[in-house]
Amino acid sequence: MPRLPSLNALRCFEAAARSGSFSRAAEELNVTQSAVSHQVRQLEQWFGLSLFDRMGRQTVPTPKGQELARSLAEAFDIMGAACRRLSQSETGPALTIAALPSIATIWLIPRLSQFFADHPEISVKVIYAFTGQKIDFDETDIAILWGPGEWEGCRSTRLLAGNTVAVCNAIYLEREGPFTEPQMIPGKPLLHDTDRLDWQNWMRHAGLKHAGPSPGPIFQDFNLLRAAALAGQGIALCPRSLIADDLESGRLVQLFDTAIKLDYAYCIIEPAQGSDRRTDAITLFKDWLLAAAHK
Q: What is the mean pLDDT of the chain?
A: 86
**Could you tell me if 127 and 105 are in contact, meaning their C-beta atoms sit under 8 angstroms apart?**
no
Domains annotated for the chain, with CATH where assigned, are 7-88 (1.10.10.10), 92-160+264-293 (3.40.190.10), 164-254 (3.40.190.10)
Q: What separation in angstroms does the CA of 83 have from each of 12, 29, 76, 77, 87?
A: 20, 19, 11, 10, 6
DSSP state of 271: E
- pLDDT for 288: 92
- pLDDT for 251: 94
Confidence of residue 274 (pLDDT cuts 50, 70, 90): low
Region at 20 (left for phi over 0; alpha for psi -120 to 50; beta for the rest): left
- Residue type (1 letter), 82: A
User: What's the pLDDT tens digit per position in 30-45?
Assistant: 889 899 999 999 999 9
- Residue type (1 letter), 84: R
Confidence of residue 2 (pLDDT cuts 50, 70, 90): low
Local structure of 234: helix, strand or coil: coil
The rounded Cα 174 to chain-centroid distance in angstroms is 37
Model pTM? 0.68
- pLDDT for 183: 85
- Look at 129-143, 201-215, 250-264 and tell me which has the smallest mean pLDDT: 201-215
Confidence of residue 3 (pLDDT cuts 50, 70, 90): confident
Question: What's the mean pLDDT in 21-31?
Answer: 87
- pLDDT for 275: 56
User: What's the pLDDT tens digit per position in 70-128?
Assistant: 999 888 888 877 776 666 555 555 788 999 999 999 999 999 999 988 888 888 889 99
Q: Is the pLDDT confidence value at 277 over 60?
A: no
- Look at 107-121, 233-247, 249-263 and tell me which has the smallest mean pLDDT: 107-121
- pLDDT for 222: 94
CA–CA distance, 37 with 50 (Å, rounded to integer): 13
Q: Is the pLDDT confidence value at 153 over 90?
A: no
Q: Is the pLDDT confidence value at 20 over 90?
A: no
- Which has more confidence, 276 or 182? 182
Q: Is the pLDDT confidence value at 248 over 90?
A: yes
Local structure of 3: helix, strand or coil: coil
